[in-house]
Amino acid sequence: MKNLDFASHRQQYSIDEQTISYIDIGQGPVLLLGHSYLWDAQMWAPQIELLSQQYRCIVPDLWGHGLSNAMPTNTRNLRDISAQMLSLMDALDVTEFSVIGLSVGAMWGAELALLAPTRVKRLVMLNSFIGFEPEITRDKYYAMLDVIKHEQGLSPALRATIIPLFFADKPNPQLVDQFELTLASINNEQIDTLYRLGKMIFGRRDTLEEVENLTLPCLIMAGVQDKARSVLESYLMHDAIDGSKFIHIPDAGHISTLEQTEFVNQHLIEFLTATN
């Protein structure tokens, strides 16, 4: 995977005295892209390269990730994060946009579609689940978060537990090595935000309770080898969201945008074109 350099397209936006870093590239209808927990905007590099030829791609680094600052102290849940993303759109004078999110990016993306239904025109959710976190997995992830907070970092043992959750059964070694380096480089300043954000993600509300209000075109995609979010969860969302489209991503785990780039890109373009 080539690591594309978007440095010249980096911008900053301040919210509650903290700065969020985002990529703003391309012209045309606006796409707001949300990345996975423990990753950053670069997770979308192959999609940005393609989509920015026809669309304006706005791709923030979530709080405590990439080049963004720590999360503001008054941020308490994913609805707050969706409101912050709407504030960013306001600051950029963007009236209408579509949201493409993976994992937590889709969780706050769904909240944003509910918050601003006249402004969010399409919603793509990859490898995500907007219902309650199942109790067993919630407790498992909470325990991991407690270890991260206690150790003030991600030890080699913890990294060895976390890394396989993100990849297919036979992962690309280069992707695994890059992710390992990212996790190993997490510093003390990021830990508090990652802990608080993890609690928000795995302690999120059941957004499916408001699913009848998601009346916009919706695409749901799931990596068939995803260990962090089961395909069944995507089926549940597809069943609940009237008129949604569902696609399996073959030979992909959680980070399907990097593991099956061409497949994901093809279906993103098809969906965006068909719902234009």
Chain segment 162-211, per-residue pLDDT in tens? 999 999 999 999 999 999 999 999 998 899 999 999 999 999 999 999 99
CA distance 256 to 266: 13
Average pLDDT over residues 59-70: 97
Beta-bridge partner residues of 18: 15
> Could you state, in order of their start, the residue ranges of all structural domains in the chain?
7-132+205-274
pLDDT(1) > 70:
no
- Contacts with 102 (C-beta within 8 Å, 6 or more apart), sequence order: 34, 35, 36, 43, 125, 126, 127, 128, 255, 256, 257
CATH topology of domain 7-132+205-274: Rossmann fold (3.40.50)
Distance in angstroms between the alpha carbons of the first and the last residue of the chain: 30
Sign of CA dihedral 148, 152, 158, 159: positive
What's the whole-number average pLDDT of the chain? 96
3-state class (DSSP) for residue 140: helix
Instruction: Decide if pLDDT at 3 tops 70.
Output: no
Q: According to the model, what pLDDT value does residue 75 have?
A: 98
- pTM equals 0.97
Q: Quote the Cα angle for 93-97-99, to 5°.
A: 130
Dihedral sign of CA atoms 184, 258, 105, 237 in order? negative
Q: How far apart are CA 227 and CA 245, in angstroms?
A: 22
**Res. 276 pLDDT band, cuts 50 70 90:** confident
CB 207 within 8 A of CB 131: yes
Task: Kindly report each contact of residues 132-136 with a partner whose C-beta sits within 8 Å and lies 24 or more positions away, as own/partner.
Answer: 132/204, 132/205, 132/206, 133/201, 133/202, 133/203, 133/204
Distance CA 100, CA 203 (A): 22
What pLDDT, in 10s, does the model give residues 93-149?
999 999 999 999 999 999 999 999 999 999 999 999 999 999 999 999 999 999 999
Check residue 57 and give left, alpha or beta (phi > 0: left; psi -120 to 50: alpha): beta
| Residues 121/190, Cβ–Cβ less than 8 Å | no
Q: Which amino acid is at 183?
A: L
Nearest-angstrom CA–CA distance, 6 and 138:
35
